């Protein structure tokens, strides 16, 4: 699993995108559903759209399917401008959010519907439909009508119907929302399997971020008709570009403060060589910017580091987490590297040390975002880069983990998640305890908006 060749066509300049949105705007009357959206989606991607209700996910899908035309801008699929191509002339199938099953046809005929519109032979159709029925575990219901099956079964019929024609591009609008957890996980893996076998490109809308994280090659977080961030699931989780994304994906603690350059012995010398080093890399353009080029960073980490060793400058954005990092409780060390940012946020607490903070952010009002599972809590003051004192207000027991709601001095609430390694009765932290919340200097990120 770990050593598969990396699938990152979006980082490959020679790769041609399958779908291109170019400055697409969609208005319904005065209402702007999609706002000047430009986005590439590549072949064989599993592209997940995430966002609050009404942010324009379905509208984006409907434009891809050909049911809405953009008010302005162009959408092209495989290089062809799609604006005047009707839905039945597109090699695209869509699974509708409302399922849109044909009520007068049996489940079997619903699934066969698309195949019957082609010149496929009768027995080939039969074989394909049976394959789909088996895949979605609907064999028993083949002869029933849609109103005679349950909601989850209907959803599976809709899925089977859209899969039957094995389209080049499959649009799934909340395909698994009505399924129970077990069946949903099975179907997710089934989808990934189908995608691997057929090379179909998937665009999927989901409200379930766990699902997006599991299946997607990239996740797009949308808000009010715009895409706020597009990145791989781990990058979007570990390095959100805004508090909106950080808050939308998973749980997060947000602390507002003012950035200050960290007092370090030799800050100037530390930063100079790094900016000089950058132009040496042919992939990195040399326009000045607050953060190093992502591609350069990636090249360094994946290709150059075994040869020339780890970068010695502080990492400015978090790298994707290793498997060990994801499972282990954060290790707290006092071994704080030089540089970075200290965030002044309260007069009752020390500044938060963020050694991966960008020094160019000095003096700005920033928000520090840290995931609950990156926090450690203890009764005694630990030896950590950051340790904040507070009182346990509430403990939510979630089985494998517990979430501690800690009120820091001054009123800031913090959520910390700890694995329940011990039995409930054996744990020593309870309500009203005074505790120390600690985290490393690289556990969180500083966000400008």
Partner 1 sequence: MRRFALIAVPYLWLLALFLVPFLIVMKISLSDIALAIPPYTPKLDLTGGWDAVTSFFKALDFENFEFLTSDDLYWKAYLSSFKIALISTVLALLIGYPIAYSMARAAPEWRPTLLMLVILPFWTSFLIRVYAWMGILSNEGLLNQFLLWTGLISEPLTILNTNTAVYIGIVYTYLPFMILPIYSTLEKMDDSLLEAAEDLGCSRTSAFWLITVPLSKTGIIAGCFLVFIPTLGEFVIPSLLGGSQTLMIGKVLWEEFFNNRDWPVASAVAIILLLILIIPIILFQRNEQKQREMEG
Ligand X SMILES: Nc1ncnc2c1ncn2[C@@H]1O[C@H](COP(=O)(O)OP(=O)(O)OP(=O)(O)O)[C@@H](O)[C@H]1O
Note the residues at the interface with ligand X (CB under 6 A).
Answer: 28, 31, 33, 51, 53-59, 97
Smallest distance from Mg ion to CB 172, Å: 11
Q: Looking only at Cα atoms, what is the longest distance across the chain?
A: 79
Partner from ligand X, partner 1, Mg ion, none binding residue 88, C-beta < 5-8 Å depending on class: partner 1
User: Applying CB under 8 A, does 65 fall inside the site for partner 1?
Assistant: yes
Q: How many residues bind partner 1 (CB under 8 A)?
A: 25
CB atoms within 10 A of CB 252: 22
DSSP string, 198-255: H--EEEEE-S-HHHHHHH-SEEEEEETTEEEEEE-HHHHHHS-SSHHHHHHSS--EEE
Dihedral sign, Cα of residue 172, residue 174, residue 178, residue 182: positive
Smallest distance from Mg ion to CB 332, Å: 43
List residues near Mg ion by CB under 5 A. 58, 97
Return the residue of 11, 69, 74, 98 that touches partner 1, per CB under 8 A: 98
The Cα 286–Cα 289 span in angstroms is 9
User: Applying CB under 8 A, does 79 fall inside the site for partner 1?
Assistant: no
User: Applying CB under 8 A, does 165 fall inside the site for partner 1?
Assistant: yes
Smallest distance from ligand X to CB 97, Å: 6
Smallest distance from Mg ion to CB 173, Å: 6
The Cα 282–Cα 90 span in angstroms is 40
The Cα 353–Cα 135 span in angstroms is 52
Mask for 115-144, x = binds partner 1 (CB under 8 A): --xx--------------------------
| Sheet of strand 386-397, all strands in order from the earlier edge strand to the far edge | 376-378, 434-439, 386-397, 401-408, 413-419
- The span of 92-100, 381-389, 407-415, 422-430 binding partner 1 (CB under 8 A) equals 92-100
Cβ proximity to Mg ion, 97 vs 258, nearer residue: 97
User: Applying CB under 8 A, does 94 fall inside the site for partner 1?
Assistant: yes
User: Applying CB under 8 A, does 200 fall inside the site for partner 1?
Assistant: no
Task: Enumerate the β-bridge partners of residue 317.
Answer: none
Smallest distance from ligand X to CB 58, Å: 3
Smallest distance from partner 1 to CB 239, Å: 37
Cβ proximity to partner 1, 20 vs 162, nearer residue: 162
Partner from partner 1, ligand X, Mg ion, none binding residue 92, C-beta < 5-8 Å depending on class: partner 1
What lies within 8 Å, CB to CB, of 255 at 6+ separation is 343, 345, 352, 367, 368, 370, 412
User: Applying CB under 8 A, does 113 fall inside the site for partner 1?
Assistant: yes
Rg (CA), the chain: 25
Given a contact cutoff of 8 angstroms between Cβ atoms, the answer to whether 73 and 25 are in contact is: yes
Cβ proximity to partner 1, 93 vs 229, nearer residue: 93
Smallest distance from ligand X to CB 59, Å: 3
The Cα 110–Cα 153 span in angstroms is 13
User: Applying CB under 8 A, does 5 fall inside the site for partner 1?
Assistant: no
Residue 383 buriedness (CB in 10 A; 0-12 / 13-18 / 19+): exposed
- The span of 109-117, 267-275, 285-293, 353-361 binding partner 1 (CB under 8 A) equals 109-117
Return residues touching partner 1 (CB under 8 A).
65-67, 86-88, 92-94, 96, 98, 100-104, 113-114, 117-118, 145, 147, 161-162, 165
């Amino acid at each position: 699993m770990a050593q598969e060749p990396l699938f990152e066509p979006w980082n490959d300049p020679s790769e041609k995108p399958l779908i291109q949105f170019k400055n697409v705007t969609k208005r319904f009357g005065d209402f702007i559903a999609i706002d000047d959206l430009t986005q590439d989606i590549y072949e064989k991607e599993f592209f997940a759209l995430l966002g609050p209700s009404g942010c324009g996910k379905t509208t984006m899908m409907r434009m891809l399917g050909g049911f809405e035309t953009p008010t302005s801008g162009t959408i092209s699929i495989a290089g062809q401008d799609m604006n005047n191509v009707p839905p039945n002339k597109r090699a695209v199938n869509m699974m509708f959010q409302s399922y849109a099953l044909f009520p007068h046809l049996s489940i079997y005929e619903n699934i066969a519907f698309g195949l019957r519109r082609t010149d496929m032979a009768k027995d080939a159709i039969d074989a394909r439909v049976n394959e789909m029925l088996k895949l979605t575990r609907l064999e028993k219901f083949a002869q029933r009508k849609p109103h005679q099956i349950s909601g989850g079964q209907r959803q599976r019929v809709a899925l089977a119907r859209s899969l039957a024609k094995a389209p080049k591009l499959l649009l799934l609008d909340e395909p698994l929302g009505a399924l129970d957890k077990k069946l949903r996980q099975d179907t997710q893996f089934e989808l990934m399997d189908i995608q691997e076998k057929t090379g179909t490109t998937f665009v999927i809308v989901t409200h379930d971020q766990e699902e997006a994280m599991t299946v997607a090659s990239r996740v797009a977080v949308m808000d009010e008709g715009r895409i706020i961030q597009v990145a791989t699931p781990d990058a979007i989780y570990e390095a959100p570009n805004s508090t909106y994304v950080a808050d939308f994906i998973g749980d997060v603690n947000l602390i507002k403060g003012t950035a200050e350059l960290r007092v370090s012995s030799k800050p100037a010398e530390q930063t100079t060589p790094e900016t000089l080093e950058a132009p040496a890399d042919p992939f990195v353009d040399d326009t000045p910017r607050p953060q190093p080029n992502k591609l350069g960073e990636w090249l360094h980490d994946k290709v150059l580091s075994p040869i020339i060793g780890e970068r010695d400058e502080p990492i400015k954005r978090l790298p994707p987490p290793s498997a060990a990092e994801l499972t282990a409780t954060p290790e707290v060390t006092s071994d704080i590297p030089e540089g970075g940012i200290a965030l002044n946020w309260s007069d009752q607490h020390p500044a938060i040390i963020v050694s991966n903070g960008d020094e160019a952010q000095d003096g700005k009002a920033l928000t520090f975002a840290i995931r609950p599972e990156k926090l450690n809590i203890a009764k005694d003051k630990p030896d950590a880069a950051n340790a904040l004192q507070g009182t346990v207000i509430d403990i939510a027991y979630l089985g494998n983990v517990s979430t501690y709601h800690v009120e820091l001095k001054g009123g800031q609430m913090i959520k910390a998640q700890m694995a329940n390694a011990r039995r409930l009765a054996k744990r020593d932290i309870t309500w009203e305890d005074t505790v120390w919340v600690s985290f490393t200097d690289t556990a969180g990120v500083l966000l400008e908006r």
